[in-house]
Amino acid sequence: MDIYSTEEQQLDALKRWWKEYGKAIILGSVIGLGGLFGWRYYQSHQLETRAAGAEAFEQVSQRLASEGSAAFEATAAFVRDNQGNSYGGLAALLLAAQAVEAGNLALAREQLELALAGTEDAALANTVRLRLARVLLAQEQFDAAQERLNQVEGEAFAALRSEVQGDLYLARGQLDAAREAYGAARDAGGLNGNPGLQLKLDHLAVSAELVDEEA
C-alpha cells in the first residue's frame, strides 16, 4: 500500500481495496462453505434416513452441479416442494452457493432464508445466519447483515462471527472497530486455514502505522 499523507486518503485507499477485494473474499467463503458443509450434511442424513425424497434430491443436486444456472429454476421448485425437510434445506444451501458464484445475490439470499426457516438444528442455523450476513453485506444491506450476525451464538462460531463483524465495520468505514473485530477472530483461532483474515489484518495494520507516524 502506498504512503498516504492524510488519514482521509488512507481511508479512501482502504475503501478502494475493500471495493476491489472485499466482496470476493466474503463471497468466496460462502461458496466454499456451501460445498463442504452441504456434502457433509447430506452424508449425515443419508446415514440417518432413507426418505422418499432422496432420489429426487440426488437428481436435482447432480443437475445443479452439471448445468449451473440453467438448473436454478428446477432446484428452486424442489426447495419449495420440500420446504421443512432435510432435502429441501440442503438443496437450498447448494442453490445459494451456486447463486453466489453466478452473482445472483438476491436468489442466494432467498434460498438461505428458506434454509434457515426450515431447520431446527442450532449449528446449521448458525452456519446459515453467517452466510446470510455475508450475502447481505455484499448487497450493502448493512443493518440486515448486523441483525443476522447478532443471532449467531456459541463459541464454535466465535471466530467466524468476529471476522464477519470486522467485514461489516470495514464496509462502513469504521477502521478501529474492524481492527478490533479481526483481532478477536484471530484470537479465537480464525487464522487456521484462513489466509483472508490475515490479509485483512495486514492492511489494517498498515493503516494504523501510518496514522501513528502522522500523530
158-213 pLDDT tens trace: 999 999 999 999 999 999 999 999 999 999 999 998 888 898 898 887 765 544 44
84-136 pLDDT tens trace: 787 888 889 889 989 998 999 999 999 999 999 988 888 889 989 999 999 99
Kindly state the cell numbers that stand for 103.
Answer: 452473482
- Rounded-to-integer distance, Cα 68 and Cα 56, Å: 17
Q: What is the pLDDT of residue 48?
A: 47
DSSP assigned state of 132: H
For residue 44, pLDDT beyond 70? no
Confidence of residue 12 (pLDDT cuts 50, 70, 90): low
Question: For all residues of the chain together, what is the average pLDDT?
Answer: 79
- Of 51 and 100, the one with more pLDDT: 100
Q: What is the pLDDT of residue 49?
A: 47
Read off the pTM. 0.74
- Rounded-to-integer distance, Cα 25 and Cα 198, Å: 12
DSSP assigned state of 104: -
Q: What is the pLDDT of residue 6?
A: 47
Q: What residue type is 112 in one-letter code?
A: L
Give the count of beta carbons closer than 10 Å to the beta carbon of residue 205. 12
Q: In a 3-state reduction of DSSP, which class is residue 64?
A: helix
Contact between residue 91 and residue 79 where contact means Cβ atoms under 8 Å apart: yes
Alpha helices in the chain (DSSP H): 7-17, 23-48, 54-67, 72-81, 86-101, 105-117, 122-138, 142-150, 158-171, 175-187, 195-214
Q: How many Cα atoms occupy the beta-carbon half-sphere of 30 within 13 Å?
A: 35
Kindly state the cell numbers that stand for 181.
Answer: 473485530
For residue 36, pLDDT beyond 80? no
For residue 1, pLDDT beyond 50? no
Share of the chain above pLDDT 90, in %: 47
Burial class (CB in 10 A: 0-12, 13-18, 19+), 119: buried
Kindly state the cell numbers that stand for 194.
Answer: 484462513
For residue 15, pLDDT beyond 50? yes
